[in-house]
Chains A and B, each alone.
Chain A
Amino acid sequence: ETGVTQTPRHLVMGMTNKKSLKCEQHLGHNAMYWYKQSAKKPLELMFVYNFKEQTENNSVPSRFSPECPNSSHLFLHLHTLQPEDSALYLCASTSTDRTYEQYFGPGTRLTVT
């Protein structure tokens, strides 16, 4: 399935590095999401963009910086992360036709050393 793609699939970065995660959806949706999934914890919503406008920021630290240049692409820029930021970062998209059914990408498994 290639409806929602994410790159890279795996990333190891030091605490002083700057990296970016990329998400692209090919479903014609207008809303995109970033989630964090840590071991043995529920998925946590981080950000939501609807028609390129940010509609949700779930009190995410500023070391995570999202960017949504258009409805098909979503980035998560990372800088000065902490080891506790190691997790699976999932992107999802939805069509706001009142169903709000979300379709997820495969995720980026991030390790901060």
Chain B
Amino acid sequence: RKEVEQDPGPFNVPEGATVAFNCTYSNSASQSFFWYRQDCRKEPKLLMSVYSSGNEDGRFTAQLNRASQYISLLIRDSKLSDSATYLCVVNEGTGGFKTIFGAGTRLFVKA
């Protein structure tokens, strides 16, 4: 089983659609969780941290279910500029430094 597993994608959606990304992680001791986006041939950029209570930032909502070891990202009213690869990221261990990236899910938003 992969340490961090994401939907394989790609997702092709029209502008204005709502799209959901799912992620599962294998280590129950994992401590911190994030979503990053990566544009083609660019570095990953932090989109949002994921908190146990769930959190929202504009059109983006992240959820964490520790019992199921599951993380989600919801994008509402998707824009063309949302087209990118979305990476689920998990920090493990007491030090928090061992970082595992999912393979990413590619999103294409079309006009």
Query: Using a CB–CB distance below 8 Å, which chain A residues touch chain B?
Result: 31, 33, 35, 41-45, 48, 50, 55-56, 90, 96, 98-107
Closest 5 CB pairs of A and B: A104-B43, A43-B101, A48-B97, A42-B103, A100-B96
Q: How far is the CB of B103 from chain A (nearest CB, A)?
A: 5
Query: Using a CB–CB distance below 8 Å, which chain B residues touch chain A?
Result: 4, 32, 34, 42-46, 49, 87, 91, 95-104
* A-B pairs with beta carbons under 8 Å apart, 18 shown: A33-B97, A33-B99, A35-B101, A42-B101, A42-B104, A45-B98, A45-B100, A45-B101, A55-B95, A56-B97, A90-B44, A96-B96, A99-B49, A100-B97, A101-B34, A102-B34, A104-B44, A104-B45
B102 closest partner in A (C-beta): A42
Check if B42 sits within 8 Å of A106, measured CB to CB: yes
Check if B99 sits within 8 Å of A102, measured CB to CB: yes
Residues of chain B within 8 A of A104, CB atoms compared: 43-45
